[in-house]
Every structure is written in C-alpha cells, then in structure tokens.
Amino acid sequence: MITPLKAWNELDYKGTENLIEHILSGGVHGLFILGTTGEGTNLSYELRHEFIQLACRQINGRVPVLVGITDTSLTESIKLSEHAAACGADAVVAAPPYYFTANQNELLSYYESLADKISLPLFLYNMPSHTKVSFEPETVKTLSEHSNITGFKDSSGDIIYFQKVTTLLKDAGDFSIFVGPEEILMHALLSRGHGGVNGGANLFPELYVAMYNAVMGKDFERMQILQKLILEISSNLYTIGDSPVKYLQGLKCALSVTGLCSDELTAPFEAFKGAEKEKVEKLLQNINIGEVLS
Amino acid sequence: MITPLKAWNELDYKGTENLIEHILSGGVHGLFILGTTGEGTNLSYELRHEFIQLACRQINGRVPVLVGITDTSLTESIKLSEHAAACGADAVVAAPPYYFTANQNELLSYYESLADKISLPLFLYNMPSHTKVSFEPETVKTLSEHSNITGFKDSSGDIIYFQKVTTLLKDAGDFSIFVGPEEILMHALLSRGHGGVNGGANLFPELYVAMYNAVMGKDFERMQILQKLILEISSNLYTIGDSPVKYLQGLKCALSVTGLCSDELTAPFEAFKGAEKEKVEKLLQNINIGEVLS
Amino acid sequence: MITPLKAWNELDYKGTENLIEHILSGGVHGLFILGTTGEGTNLSYELRHEFIQLACRQINGRVPVLVGITDTSLTESIKLSEHAAACGADAVVAAPPYYFTANQNELLSYYESLADKISLPLFLYNMPSHTKVSFEPETVKTLSEHSNITGFKDSSGDIIYFQKVTTLLKDAGDFSIFVGPEEILMHALLSRGHGGVNGGANLFPELYVAMYNAVMGKDFERMQILQKLILEISSNLYTIGDSPVKYLQGLKCALSVTGLCSDELTAPFEAFKGAEKEKVEKLLQNINIGEVLS
Amino acid sequence: MITPLKAWNELDYKGTENLIEHILSGGVHGLFILGTTGEGTNLSYELRHEFIQLACRQINGRVPVLVGITDTSLTESIKLSEHAAACGADAVVAAPPYYFTANQNELLSYYESLADKISLPLFLYNMPSHTKVSFEPETVKTLSEHSNITGFKDSSGDIIYFQKVTTLLKDAGDFSIFVGPEEILMHALLSRGHGGVNGGANLFPELYVAMYNAVMGKDFERMQILQKLILEISSNLYTIGDSPVKYLQGLKCALSVTGLCSDELTAPFEAFKGAEKEKVEKLLQNINIGEVLS
C-alpha cells in the first residue's frame, strides 16, 4: 500500500481511509504498509507511527496488517515494531540495513537479533536494487527455522532466484513466500510462491486477486487474459518520465486521478503534473478492468 | 571520527573524550562526526543526538565540528541539523538519500530544500558505494552557488572524477572540496583538493596532517615516505576478515588495542576477536609513526 | 549444443557425432551450435569452421541448424556466416560485439549492416552478462522489421524483460522469440515465447521437449513435475566448484560420464576431476528422467 | 596508438605513416598498437596482421613496439604474437579473454600458458570495464615471476588499486607498470608507476612526455600546468556525443582535423560529422600546447 500524502511531510487522512476501503473491497488477503511502495524509509518517524495507527484502526482486523520496519538502525526498527504491535498489526517486514551492506553471516545475526527482540512475527524482505544485498537462499532457509520469522517477500524480480528459494524451502511448513513485482505474480505462483505483494493492487486490487484465483484454479485462458492486462498497466503507467521512482509517481498519480487520494510523494520526489498527468488520465480511460473481470 | 561504543546501542563516554583529545593533539583542522566511519546511519536518533552534544562539548570550539545528518527522511535530517546547531556545531554533512535513488534534478531539489530549511552551512557528501548515486560534477557546481552550501566531500575513490569536480569548481571561491579515502589524500591535494576527511586520522592524526603539510610545502621526498606509511596501514589494517565493514572493524580494533576507546560496532556488525585481534596487535607493534614523523 | 573437445584446441569428432544423434533422438526441433554453451568465441576460427562443417554434415537436414557467429569483428562474423551457408546451415545467431559496448543506435546499425551483408537469416542474441549490453525492446522491434532478421534469443534470465519483448512484438508475424536459461523455459513459454535454447538439452533433450509439449498442451500437473526435474538438474549439476563457467564444466562432465563425448573445455577453463567429477557421477545416478517422462 | 582507417574495414596507409612519424617526433619511449584505442578486437585478422607489419616497418626499431593480441581464443592470440615477432615487434600485450570471464586461478593458468607458448615478452593488460574482470594484485605478482611476463598496463582508472599493485611489486626488478587513462598519468607516476600508455599521445605526444619528465624532475609547478592541459583536452575532446566510444571518436576526429589521418572507426561505430566535428575544430583552435611546452 502506498502512503497517501497531502504534502511531502503530511499524511492524507481521508485519502488513507478511502484507499484502504478501496483495496479491501477488491478482496485482498492482507495489507502491507510502509514498504518500498509505502515510502516507509522516507517518512519521518512521527508520520510512520501515525500512519501505522491510522491504517490499523481503519482496517480494524478485517485482514492481516503487515508493517514495514526497514531501517538502518536496529533500535528504530524495534521501536516501530513495538508500536505496530500496540496498534494491533499482525506482523512486521524488514529489508536488510541499507547504508552499510552486510554479508550473509551478518544478515543471519541481524535478523535473529531482530526477531528475538520483537513481539510480532517477522517477514524477511529481499530488495537488492535498493539495499545492495540479496539473501542467499541458504540464508532464508536458516532464518525460516527461527520461530518468530514467518515469511519472505522477494522483490528481486528474478524468477530463477525465486525458484531456488521456493525449492529449498519446499518443506518449510507454513513459512510464506511472496513475490514483489506484479509482472511476475503469475510466474511466481506457478513456482510454489504463496502470493504477491503488488503495488498495482492499490489501484486495481481485484485484478491481482483474480490472477491469484486463476492460477489456483489452473485456468490457463484466464491467466493469459489477466496477464495481458497486468503488463499493459505496468508497461504504460510505470514508465512515464525519467525519475528512479517513476513507478511510484505513475501509481500515485493514477490514484489521485481516480479520486482516491492525493498524489504527493516524500522528498525529494515530485508528483506528476501537466503532460505526465494527462498521459495517466488517458491511460486510465483506456484500461477496462471491469470488462475483463466480469 | 568513529563513534566509540560500549555496546551496539550504548555510547562509550570516556572513550569519546579520550579519542577527541587524541585526534586534536594530532593537529587536525576540524572534526567530522557521524559520517560513514561514524556509523551515523546505524545509530538510534537518541544516540546520535547524545553523541553530537557530547562531542561538541568536549571539542569546545577548538576546531570546527562537522556533523553527519545523512538520512532517508528529510525531516529527520533537519531535526539532526537543528540539534547540531543548538550544540554549537559549525556545519552539517549529508549524503544523498540512500534507499530510493534520486536523479540529478531530484538531488538538486533535495539539497536546495535541505539547505533552505537549516541554519548551519551544508556540505555535500559523495559516497556512491553506499548511496548508489554519484553527484555529477555539474550538480556540485550548481549547488555550490547556494549561499548555504559550503563544501563537498568525495568518497568515491575516483581521482578522475575528483579532478573533474575540482576543475569545474576552480573559480568557486571558498567552496571546500575534501577527499575521503586516505589512500588518495596525496593525489587529491595535488589535484586542487583542499583537504582530507580520513578515517585513519582517528588512529594517527598527525600522519595525515603531515601529508597535508608535505604537499602544501611541495616536499616530494616526504610525500613519498608518508604515502608509504599510509598505504601500509591501509593495506594491512583494513583488510582483515571478510565483512563489508572490515575497514571499520580494523580501525576500531586498533583504537581499542591502543587503549583509546572500546571496539564495539553498531548492529549487525561485530568487533574483532581472537586471531583477528592478534593480527591488529602485531600490526600496531610494527608501525612506527613516530620515527617517520620526527 | 556444446562443442565436444578432445583438448582445448582439438575437436572430438566421434563425440560430436554421438552427441548430435543423442540430441536429435530426444526430439528437438532444431540445433544451435557455437553459441555461449558451444564456447564459440573461445575456439580458433579454424576449429569453428571445421565444427560447422562437421555438425551440418551429421545433422544432414533432419532439423534446422543455427550457427553462432558472435564476434567483435564484423568481417569475421560475415566470414563465419558465409561458411555456415556453404555448409548448409539454416540461420546464424549473433550477440552484440562484446569488447566495446554499443549504444542502441549502434546496435541497430550493426545488425542492419550484418543482415544486409550475409545470405542466411539472422537471429539476435541477447546475453547481457557476457556482452555488457542489452537490447532495448524497441531495438528488437525495429530490427524485427528487417527482412533478413528472423528471430531473437534472450538469455538475460529476466522474465519481466522477456515479457516486454514478447508483448511489443506480439504482432510481429513469424519472428521467433526463444529463451536461454532452462530454469525459465516454462515461464517463457507461458509468456508468448516460442521455444527454448537450453544447454541442458545436450544431456536430456527429451526433458525440455516434454516441457514444451506440456505447456502447449496446457498440462499443469506435468509442467510442475517437469519443472521440478529441470530445477533439480540446474541447482545440482551447474553449481559445482567456483569457476564462472561451472555450468559448462558440470554439463560437459555429465556428458563425459554418460559416455557421449569428452569433457575438455577451451582455454583457460579446465574439466572437472576428482571430487567434482564424483559429484557429477552421483548426481546422474540419482536423476531418473525416464521414470518421469514415461 | 589508434589504427588509422579509410573505411571500417580498410587501413589508411598514408595516415599510419604520418601518425607514426608524428608520435615519434614527440619523443615517446615506445608505441603500443592494436590496444583498446587501436580497436584491435574489432579489426579482422587480416587487417590486424597487415597493420602489425605496416607499423613495425615504419617504426623500424626507433622505439620498442608493443602489439595488442587480446582475443577470446588463445590460438588466435598466439598466432598474432608469432606474426608480431616475425615483423620485429618487441613485446605483446593481452587483456583477459572477455566473453567468458575467468576467475583468478584461470587467469593465472591462461597467462602462464600464453607466455609459455609465445616467443615475445608478454605484458598483462588490466581493462575491467571492457573485460569484466580485474587482476587481483596477488595475481599480477605471481605472474610477474614468469620469465616471459615483463609488464602490466592498468587501465582501471583506479589509483587506489594501482598503488596496491605497485606496492606489492615494489621489489619486482625490471617488471614494468604502466597506467592507461592520461588523466591520472601524473598520479600514477607519483605512485611508483613507470610510465603511461595514453591515447592522447596520438594527438599531442610531447605533452605526455613532458609530464613524464616533469614528474621525474620533481617539478611541481610544471606538473600542475601540464595537468591542467591534459584535463582540458580530456574533459572537452572526449565527451562529445553519447556513444560508448566517444573518447575514440573525439580523438580520431581531432587527428583527422589536424590532417594526420582519416577518422573512420571499426563497425559499428561512426566518425563525427557536422556539429560534433565543428566542436572538435573549435577545441583544437583553443588548445595551445606549444605555448605551454615551450
């Protein structure tokens, strides 16, 4: 879930409520806040704390809430986790510390230490393009044996890697393995993945739920139709402009155009204006999710 | 300056005092705290605030104090800067936000916004291996024209790049350009650089001061002798073990062996023990700075 | 297809015949020689010429033969192509020149020039890990419109990229799009890919043919069973030792153990011996392709 | 030395003679042909053989001739080396094979094998941006002990690395260590380097000879003046356009503008025309080497 903002340092309360209701109405099985798409690392701690409370209250137990606590300081991650627990969240998610990189032994030590010190279950989050380090499959396996580590989200975009992990953990009981990029949700679900945590689900939650159901139901024709739509959104909405966060700019702009919430981003990133916004508007007119899903 | 720690989340007060006195006695022209070597990003905000106060009090105006405020959240960088101002620091230093990368325009916007919002003068900090982005020389030039941006520290290790910056900014008045890696302090000073911010100066401050003086005095023989020593320290002390922070482990271990302060690191990194520590001890016995410098 | 060698600079004639018969008996739809797995770039031109002749004669029109002509010198690529034509090959395959990298315009110019100057149809070959450059999907599209450019092989391993290409070229008539890494053969076929050029097919050609048939037949259960086997081979056979070519060492060793051909590699790479070879032997005893495929 | 071409596959004989005389008149201590700047890998073998003969004949023993034999095929490197020996060249230079990368042990094996099989002395050539692999300093040291390996050229552009090599080989007798990028010729000479192999010396050979003499003579003032000029050339002449070979385009264009030789490049690269050529013309008018050097 993105974090709706009225300004770079100000939450959009009404937009948050709207967006949560919108996403839940799409039938998602859970909600992940303050992840990469949620710009967690770029928000002040005050806003992060506030947003956790706001989201948990609005969701109110209807689906599990996972909270991103990724931070370069272990202490701050622990604080965020305890706040999330107090607000009623169900689990926390942490990518590796991302200023200094850690080797695999240091990753083991970091996550074991974190999992020991917090009360909520912990998900590992693989995001090498942002953290400069990738979990080796063996590291995920070792950590999966910790009683308080319950899942893994992989946003590497690399299905070969993803399969190595799912193969190695095929006997890991109820350890959950999710995939990030929506472009490979289908492929990941066909490769022992348990689900997706997909940014596009802010906008069209029912689409990714439909893909999940299509793969579970082995409905090959439907998978192809849905995948076509998923790629159409991705290749058009996430490719406007030249910012490293153009994916997020496109997504937030689309949510704003549909009236769900504001389109502001955290500093130093800027919302689309003018020609870029018009492109998004046209795109949205051309995408007919309803027809496909009905 | 490193941050002396008694444990991963606890400052070493006495060690901090010792170390500051040791560094100042070496004749350095200023002190940079909470940078990369200072593990700034890995400390809790509470400890960062405390350390700023502690260091400023101990230095007490004897040399300028520069404070690292690098953060992924602009709000938190501003808060750190205001605290540093209140404690009497002279300037702040910020590397680019390092979870999301920014393009050059976004860097411009980020630094202009930051410089506008804080009271202390701001130094740019180029650290591409950690932040995944490098300032283009033109970006440094544009930012150097902001009245509250007063310098640039380059830790890229790339002398070709460094020269591009110094050449482009040759008429930039009193804008300061410093180099990070001590192995190229000599080369940077010979290429219009104004000084070095070198981790090794925690241990042997007089050595890097001597190199500065040798280059200023165009003393070629002495430069060669000092450089030999600088490389000897670097190639032996910073290369033990296989952690991405082995440089810091070696440095903190050496400071501990010489009795200046503790050797603990922030999570998830560990201090040297056993065989690694013995290596450092032997190394220190073999390095005779005094003989060379006298 | 690998290139069977008796020594780093000597072809294994008998092994070549054996291997070709073995692969063809597995039901493959074509054969690609002198590609990356064929160590084309590391063979002398004399051996490349000789091998083209040898392979074409042995295959004798039973399936189409594609010949790798990847080279840093355009002249040498053209010569190889004309020799391949003379020997009766059906098409040639060229990765971008790989010492200097070319930008997308230069790639366009390179491939248009090459396609104009040769008589055989040309396949583009994307192999960014070896050539340091990737075809942008738009570049593939533009080149697909050249009358003598008839296909694209993607060995990037990136299914997100692969889908961008197949989506952009969905109306490109009989332009063929193949995938390299066998670990994603299934995923690529499910994403509009037309086939695979998979190294593992040297050893178990029927396995990859079976996967092709399973996907074409929309047989989900069989896809899962075959994929399990494909990953088992990949994760065990291609991961022994620490050479950048361990994939090739494992493959050639397995072919040697099964008695099909020698295991020598081009300089500077060495065949497995001792413990590494024993690992391969044990692996082959544990893999029961026949049971799964029957 | 660049390779003067009348067309992408045709030597410029007269230009070659002119250019060799021009370079020798600048006082260089040797000539390196068919290196990266010489586009060796992109020329057909026929042209490489022809150019070796042409250059050796023209130089006629006045300075040592080093010939680039970098190739992905060991056999072809050996052939080039034997041809160079027959033409009277003094040594050969080989970068690592550059399609497959080799690990350090494989590099050792490759270079020992090559040095054993050729009659001319061999220089190692470090060019990681093109070959994807860098010699570890220990690998250079081990190879330096081979009786037929006599030097090392480092084009990494990394002075920290360069110093590691020169420090490790400080007792390696008459093993020669040269630096590639002219922007750090001064720095390399100040760090135990023995000389430079600089592309700019095609155009202004006397400038780089003057820098060599200035450093040898410990003439700081002159070093600074010459370095200013070297950087001016580099930052203006090598930065036009957006090709990965813009350095080479700028250099060949300048040689053509000054009337020394043609400006054609090997496929797929194109010579400057129009606005780009005009930029080069203006640049050359503004650079006054003579005034500085006199």
* Mean of pLDDT values over D49-56: 98
Q: What's residue D129's pLDDT? A: 97
Q: Among partner residues D75, D242, D267, which is closest to C103 by beta-carbon distance?
A: D242
How does pLDDT run across D143-166, given as a tens digit for each residue?
A: 999 999 999 999 999 999 999 999
Q: What's residue B216's pLDDT? A: 97
* Cβ atoms A156, A134 nearer than 8 A: yes
Backbone angles phi, psi at D154, to 5 degrees: -110, 115
Q: What is the percentage of chain B residues whose pLDDT exceeds 70? A: 100
Cβ within 8 Å, pair D190-B191:
no
Q: What's residue C294's pLDDT? A: 79
Query: Which domain covers residue C50, as residue numbers?
Result: 5-293
Nearest-Cα distance to chain A for B150, in Å, is 21
Q: What's residue C292's pLDDT? A: 85
Strand runs (DSSP E) across chain B, as ranges? 5-7, 10-11, 31-33, 65-68, 91-94, 122-126, 149-154, 176-179, 195-196
Here the ipTM equals 0.96
Size of interface A-B (CB pairs under 8 A): 122
Write out the H or E segment, with its range, that includes residue C107.
Answer: helix C104-117
Burial label, A290 (beta-carbon count in 10 A; 0-12, 13-18, 19+): exposed
* Mean of pLDDT values over A190-218: 97
Q: What's residue C187's pLDDT? A: 98
Is C in contact with B (3 or more beta carbon pairs below 8 Å)?
no
Is B in contact with A (3 or more beta carbon pairs below 8 Å)?
yes
Q: Which chains are within 8 Å of C by 3+ CB pairs? A: A, D
- DSSP three-state, residue A153: strand
Chain A residues close to B8, C-beta within 8 Å: 74
How many other C-beta atoms lie within 10 A of the C-beta of residue B44? 18
Backbone angles phi, psi at D60, to 5 degrees: 55, 45
pLDDT band at D178 (very low <50, low <70, confident <90, very high): very high
- Indicate whether A55 pLDDT > 90: yes
Cβ within 8 Å, pair C8-D267:
no
User: In this structure, which amino acid lies at residue D144?
Assistant: S
How does pLDDT run across B12-25, given as a tens digit for each residue?
A: 999 999 999 999 99
User: In this structure, which amino acid lies at residue D151?
Assistant: G
* Mean of pLDDT values over C15-32: 98
Q: What's residue B290's pLDDT? A: 86
How does pLDDT run across C130-180, given as a tens digit for each residue?
A: 999 999 999 999 999 999 999 999 999 999 999 999 999 999 989 999 999
List CB contacts of A82: < 8 A, sequence separation 6 or more: A118, A119
pLDDT band at D176 (very low <50, low <70, confident <90, very high): very high
Torsion of CA C131, C137, C139, C143, to 10 degrees: 100
Q: What's residue A266's pLDDT? A: 98
- Indicate whether D294 pLDDT > 90: no
The CATH number assigned to the domain holding C191 equals 3.20.20.70
- Indicate whether D290 pLDDT > 90: no
Could you tell me the pTM of the whole model? Answer: 0.96
Q: Among partner residues B163, B187, B231, which is closest to D167 by beta-carbon distance?
A: B231
Beta strands B31-33 and A122-126: pairing type?
unpaired
Cβ within 8 Å, pair C159-A186:
no
- Indicate whether C9 pLDDT > 90: yes
* Mean of pLDDT values over D125-142: 98
Residues of B with a Cβ under 8 Å from any A Cβ are 8-9, 36, 39, 41-47, 70, 72-76, 97-103, 106-107, 109-110, 113, 130-132, 242-245, 266-270
Based on the structure, what is the number of domains in chain D? 1
Chain C residues close to A159, C-beta within 8 Å: 159, 183-184, 187
* Cβ atoms B82, B119 nearer than 8 A: yes
How does pLDDT run across D64-119, given as a tens digit for each residue?
A: 999 999 999 999 999 999 999 999 999 999 999 999 999 999 999 999 999 999 99
- DSSP three-state, residue C65: strand
Chain A residues close to B76, C-beta within 8 Å: 44-45
